[in-house]
Amino acid sequence: MIWRLCLLYLAGGLGAVRAGPVKWSGKTADRVARREDVNVLMYGVIQLGESINNVYKSTEGKVANILLTLNEHERALEQLREQTAQAGEVEIQIKRVIELLQDQTFKQESQTKMTEGQLADIEREEAVLWTKVKSLEAHLNSTTPTIIKELLERATFNASILKGLQHLTHFQKQLIDNHAEQLWKLQRMSEAL
Protein backbone atom coordinates (compact mmCIF):
# COMPACT_ATOMS: atom_id res chain seq x y z
CA MET A 1 0.00 0.00 0.00
CA ILE A 2 2.82 2.40 0.86
CA TRP A 3 4.57 1.63 -2.42
CA ARG A 4 1.39 2.45 -4.26
CA LEU A 5 1.31 5.81 -2.53
CA CYS A 6 4.95 6.35 -3.44
CA LEU A 7 4.32 5.52 -7.08
CA LEU A 8 1.25 7.72 -7.13
CA TYR A 9 3.25 10.58 -5.65
CA LEU A 10 6.06 9.94 -8.13
CA ALA A 11 3.66 9.87 -11.04
CA GLY A 12 2.09 13.11 -9.83
CA GLY A 13 5.53 14.65 -9.48
CA LEU A 14 6.52 13.57 -12.95
CA GLY A 15 3.26 14.83 -14.33
CA ALA A 16 3.92 18.19 -12.74
CA VAL A 17 7.26 18.31 -14.41
CA ARG A 18 5.78 17.51 -17.83
CA ALA A 19 2.82 19.78 -17.40
CA GLY A 20 4.96 22.90 -17.52
CA PRO A 21 6.30 24.36 -20.75
CA VAL A 22 9.48 22.63 -21.66
CA LYS A 23 11.97 24.11 -24.00
CA TRP A 24 14.20 21.61 -25.66
CA SER A 25 17.43 23.00 -26.57
CA GLY A 26 18.73 19.61 -27.39
CA LYS A 27 21.64 20.03 -25.01
CA THR A 28 22.79 17.28 -22.71
CA ALA A 29 22.91 19.62 -19.70
CA ASP A 30 19.12 20.07 -19.83
CA ARG A 31 18.59 16.33 -19.76
CA VAL A 32 21.04 15.84 -16.85
CA ALA A 33 19.33 18.52 -14.84
CA ARG A 34 16.02 16.78 -15.37
CA ARG A 35 17.40 13.46 -14.23
CA GLU A 36 18.81 15.11 -11.13
CA ASP A 37 15.38 16.56 -10.44
CA VAL A 38 13.88 13.12 -10.93
CA ASN A 39 16.49 11.58 -8.63
CA VAL A 40 15.80 14.18 -5.98
CA LEU A 41 12.10 13.56 -6.35
CA MET A 42 12.62 9.80 -6.18
CA TYR A 43 14.78 10.17 -3.09
CA GLY A 44 12.08 12.35 -1.50
CA VAL A 45 9.40 9.86 -2.46
CA ILE A 46 11.40 7.01 -0.94
CA GLN A 47 11.95 8.96 2.27
CA LEU A 48 8.27 9.88 2.37
CA GLY A 49 7.34 6.23 1.85
CA GLU A 50 9.64 5.12 4.63
CA SER A 51 8.28 7.81 6.94
CA ILE A 52 4.71 6.82 6.15
CA ASN A 53 5.60 3.16 6.69
CA ASN A 54 7.20 3.97 10.08
CA VAL A 55 4.19 6.07 11.07
CA TYR A 56 1.87 3.24 10.00
CA LYS A 57 3.82 0.64 12.00
CA SER A 58 4.09 2.81 15.10
CA THR A 59 0.41 3.76 14.83
CA GLU A 60 -0.50 0.10 14.43
CA GLY A 61 1.49 -0.75 17.57
CA LYS A 62 -0.09 2.11 19.51
CA VAL A 63 -3.57 1.02 18.43
CA ALA A 64 -2.76 -2.56 19.54
CA ASN A 65 -1.54 -1.26 22.92
CA ILE A 66 -4.66 0.87 23.28
CA LEU A 67 -6.87 -2.13 22.50
CA LEU A 68 -5.01 -4.26 25.07
CA THR A 69 -5.37 -1.52 27.66
CA LEU A 70 -9.08 -1.17 26.88
CA ASN A 71 -9.57 -4.92 27.25
CA GLU A 72 -7.77 -4.87 30.60
CA HIS A 73 -9.91 -1.96 31.77
CA GLU A 74 -13.06 -3.74 30.63
CA ARG A 75 -12.04 -6.87 32.57
CA ALA A 76 -11.28 -4.79 35.66
CA LEU A 77 -14.60 -2.99 35.31
CA GLU A 78 -16.43 -6.30 35.02
CA GLN A 79 -14.68 -7.58 38.14
CA LEU A 80 -15.68 -4.40 39.97
CA ARG A 81 -19.28 -4.90 38.86
CA GLU A 82 -19.23 -8.48 40.17
CA GLN A 83 -17.65 -7.40 43.46
CA THR A 84 -20.22 -4.63 43.82
CA ALA A 85 -23.05 -7.10 43.22
CA GLN A 86 -21.57 -9.49 45.78
CA ALA A 87 -21.12 -6.68 48.30
CA GLY A 88 -24.77 -5.71 47.76
CA GLU A 89 -25.87 -9.27 48.45
CA VAL A 90 -23.71 -9.45 51.57
CA GLU A 91 -25.13 -6.15 52.77
CA ILE A 92 -28.69 -7.44 52.29
CA GLN A 93 -27.84 -10.61 54.23
CA ILE A 94 -26.23 -8.61 57.03
CA LYS A 95 -29.32 -6.39 57.26
CA ARG A 96 -31.53 -9.49 57.51
CA VAL A 97 -29.35 -10.92 60.27
CA ILE A 98 -29.41 -7.58 62.10
CA GLU A 99 -33.20 -7.50 61.89
CA LEU A 100 -33.42 -11.07 63.22
CA LEU A 101 -31.06 -10.24 66.08
CA GLN A 102 -33.04 -7.11 66.91
CA ASP A 103 -36.26 -9.15 66.99
CA GLN A 104 -34.63 -11.80 69.20
CA THR A 105 -33.19 -9.14 71.49
CA PHE A 106 -36.60 -7.47 71.80
CA LYS A 107 -38.26 -10.80 72.62
CA GLN A 108 -35.61 -11.68 75.17
CA GLU A 109 -35.84 -8.25 76.79
CA SER A 110 -39.61 -8.68 77.05
CA GLN A 111 -39.17 -12.14 78.52
CA THR A 112 -36.55 -10.84 80.95
CA LYS A 113 -38.85 -8.04 82.10
CA MET A 114 -41.66 -10.53 82.58
CA THR A 115 -39.34 -12.85 84.51
CA GLU A 116 -38.09 -9.96 86.63
CA GLY A 117 -41.72 -9.10 87.43
CA GLN A 118 -42.41 -12.68 88.43
CA LEU A 119 -39.21 -12.71 90.48
CA ALA A 120 -40.27 -9.53 92.28
CA ASP A 121 -43.67 -11.08 93.03
CA ILE A 122 -42.00 -14.21 94.39
CA GLU A 123 -39.64 -12.12 96.51
CA ARG A 124 -42.62 -10.25 97.97
CA GLU A 125 -44.40 -13.52 98.64
CA GLU A 126 -41.24 -14.88 100.22
CA ALA A 127 -40.94 -11.84 102.45
CA VAL A 128 -44.59 -12.18 103.49
CA LEU A 129 -44.08 -15.89 104.01
CA TRP A 130 -40.97 -15.35 106.14
CA THR A 131 -42.87 -12.82 108.22
CA LYS A 132 -45.67 -15.30 108.72
CA VAL A 133 -43.19 -18.06 109.46
CA LYS A 134 -41.44 -16.01 112.11
CA SER A 135 -44.68 -14.98 113.74
CA LEU A 136 -45.97 -18.54 113.61
CA GLU A 137 -42.64 -19.87 114.80
CA ALA A 138 -42.91 -17.75 117.88
CA HIS A 139 -46.52 -18.80 118.40
CA LEU A 140 -46.04 -22.47 117.66
CA ASN A 141 -42.72 -22.85 119.33
CA SER A 142 -44.38 -24.51 122.21
CA THR A 143 -47.25 -26.26 120.45
CA THR A 144 -46.22 -28.28 117.40
CA PRO A 145 -42.67 -28.52 116.15
CA THR A 146 -43.80 -30.50 113.07
CA ILE A 147 -45.77 -27.59 111.67
CA ILE A 148 -42.75 -25.36 112.04
CA LYS A 149 -40.65 -27.94 110.21
CA GLU A 150 -43.15 -28.00 107.35
CA LEU A 151 -43.19 -24.24 107.14
CA LEU A 152 -39.40 -24.13 107.18
CA GLU A 153 -39.24 -26.76 104.45
CA ARG A 154 -41.75 -24.81 102.41
CA ALA A 155 -39.78 -21.60 102.90
CA THR A 156 -36.57 -23.43 101.92
CA PHE A 157 -38.29 -24.83 98.84
CA ASN A 158 -39.52 -21.35 97.86
CA ALA A 159 -36.02 -19.98 98.43
CA SER A 160 -34.55 -22.61 96.08
CA ILE A 161 -37.16 -21.70 93.43
CA LEU A 162 -36.24 -18.06 93.90
CA LYS A 163 -32.56 -18.85 93.41
CA GLY A 164 -33.37 -20.82 90.25
CA LEU A 165 -35.33 -17.87 88.88
CA GLN A 166 -32.46 -15.56 89.75
CA HIS A 167 -30.08 -17.80 87.80
CA LEU A 168 -32.51 -17.88 84.88
CA THR A 169 -32.78 -14.08 84.88
CA HIS A 170 -29.00 -13.75 85.01
CA PHE A 171 -28.64 -16.20 82.08
CA GLN A 172 -31.21 -14.32 79.98
CA LYS A 173 -29.46 -11.06 80.74
CA GLN A 174 -26.18 -12.56 79.49
CA LEU A 175 -27.94 -13.70 76.31
CA ILE A 176 -29.29 -10.20 75.75
CA ASP A 177 -25.84 -8.73 76.28
CA ASN A 178 -24.32 -11.22 73.80
CA HIS A 179 -26.99 -10.42 71.20
CA ALA A 180 -26.49 -6.72 71.71
CA GLU A 181 -22.75 -7.13 71.15
CA GLN A 182 -23.34 -9.20 67.98
CA LEU A 183 -25.83 -6.63 66.74
CA TRP A 184 -23.32 -3.85 67.37
CA LYS A 185 -20.59 -5.74 65.44
CA LEU A 186 -22.92 -6.42 62.50
CA GLN A 187 -23.99 -2.78 62.39
CA ARG A 188 -20.33 -1.75 62.29
CA MET A 189 -19.72 -4.23 59.43
CA SER A 190 -22.68 -2.92 57.46
CA GLU A 191 -21.50 0.66 57.98
CA ALA A 192 -18.05 -0.31 56.72
CA LEU A 193 -19.56 -1.57 53.47
Query: What is the separation, in whole angstroms, between the first and last Cα of the chain?
Result: 57
For the chain, where are the alpha helices, taking DSSP H only? 2-19, 28-140, 145-192
Whole-number pLDDT of residue 77: 92
Whole-number pLDDT of residue 135: 84
Distance CA 153, CA 115 (A): 24
Cβ-in-10-Å burial (0-12, 13-18, 19+) of 93 comes to exposed
Whole-number pLDDT of residue 25: 55
pTM summary value: 0.39
Distance CA 63, CA 61 (A): 5
Whole-number pLDDT of residue 183: 84
Whole-number pLDDT of residue 79: 93
pLDDT in tens, the chain (193 residues): 555 555 555 555 555 444 444 455 555 555 555 778 888 888 988 998 898 888 888 888 888 899 999 999 999 999 999 998 898 888 898 889 888 888 888 888 888 888 888 888 888 888 888 888 888 777 766 666 677 677 788 888 888 888 888 888 888 889 888 888 888 888 888 777 6
Buried b / exposed e along 102-130 (16+ C-beta atoms within 10 A): eeebeebeeebeebeeebeebeeebeebe
